[in-house]
Structure formats: C-alpha cells, structure tokens
Structure 1
C-alpha cells in the first residue's frame, strides 16, 4: 500500500485558491444583505405577497356537507386563502353511504371521508369527517412512499 500521510504539494495551490474564492463569495453575500428599514421582516412579508410560508389547513364544522357543495366550489374560485390551502378538513359532515363520492368532488382535491356508522356508535344522524387534500400533495406523498418501499 502506497498511502501518503500528507497532502501532496501539487494539490495545495488548488485547495488554497478554492478556499480564497469561497471566502470572497461569503463576504459578498454579507455585504449584499439589505440593512435598515429595507431589510426587515415586514419587507420580506410584503415581497412574498399572498403566498403563505406554510401549507394551509382549513378546518370547519359544516353541519351537512352535502348541502354546501355549491358554496365550497364558489369559495374555491373567490377566496385565495381557501383555494391555496393544501388540506381542507370538515367535521360534522352528516354523510352516509347513500351519498356517493362523485357528489362531493372538488376540482384539484382528493376526497377522504369517514362517515358515522350506526352499528358502531348507536346514533344514526350527525357526525362524520371529511378531508380534501390537494392532488399535487397526494402525488408527491405517493412518490415518496414508493421510493421508500
């Protein structure tokens, strides 16, 4: 085995040159940073505009989701906070097995629902949970799960 205990002298100038370039780039970044009233948090928030920093989750107690599908589709078109949410969670949906999934579709969202079962709870009315997740988020999650498995 021919292992050298030190760095060869022909690589030393290359290493020193790249280290100098790195220091120069980092120094430029520090100098380019905005200072004073143009560098604050409020300015960055204004630059971001309507885009939120975190994925949005909309939670609501709807009490009979089947009656409110027209209102939900209108909110998707008119309300930016609602339309840019990644997850819509509705409680007290009052859904049952007689209401098909196609009647509850929202464009761009996948539907997951958990209806109240009379045999399990002893109650026939009320309850239920419904999640709408953005289809882009679903595709990303399924790709990540497939890569893990």
Structure 2
C-alpha cells in the first residue's frame, strides 16, 4: 500500500472557502502545529494552475507516518499569504494543487523552489495521483531543517 502520509483530500468552493483533511495525526492541542498558508497559483501556457501551499511544523525533526486523514484545515482563500509572482486563485478552475510541506524552517526560498516547479509537480500529481515524498532539495537555503517531507494532492471544486 502506498504511503499517504502528508497527502490530502479536500475541496474548495466559489465562496472561496477550502476544507482540507491531511493524512497526519490530529493536533493534540490547538496551536501544536504551526502552519503558514500561501497562494502559489501560477499562470502557465495552459492557463492558471491553482496552488495552495502549506508550510507545516510539529516541532519535531522526525517524519510522520500515518494512515488516516485526521488533521483538518478550514480556511478562506482570500486570506492566504501571496507568494511573489503568484497570480490570483481562480475559483472557476475545477481543481487546485495542494502542497503540504513538513519542515521546521518556514523559509521563503523553499516556497520559491516549489513555485519554480509547479508545472512539473502538477503534471506528476495529475498523471500519477496524490503522493508523498522527500521535499525538493533547496540549494539556496543552507539552514535545512528536517524532516523536509511533502505531500502533493489535487483538491476539487464543489458547488
């Protein structure tokens, strides 16, 4: 069975609300899992790819291993931080790429690395399904902080 840790299931809607369940344990107490949410949507030759990026930490340098979607994120797409170069999230698109990055260092260079690879990440997830893997190696960020694990998933629009 494939490792689903860090992958997600979820939806967004025309009211610009998203509800995402991530395959990690539920937060033991509110605030135990610091997160930063970003719009990394990108304009490509094939149109806009909607991208929601979540930088996540549990205060540990150890990768998680989990098999159910117990961590819930409900948020307003209008309140996402905007990554430099990102375009507005297009709620008319039928899906969005959700990138969940487990790393203790919330460094902008990590987001830039993912932003530069959006097209290939989207194609990989679209063609091969949701997946969990080691994070993109970032040569700019010398302060690598483990575990550098990522889940990449498509979430869909609901009515």
Fold match by TM threshold 0.5: no
Band the TM-score falls in, shorter-chain normalisation: under 0.3
Relative contact order higher in (CA < 8 Å, ≥ 6 apart)? 2
> By percentage of residues, which structure has more helix?
1
> By percentage of residues, which structure has more strand?
2
Query: Structure 1 length as normaliser, TM-score?
Result: 0.26
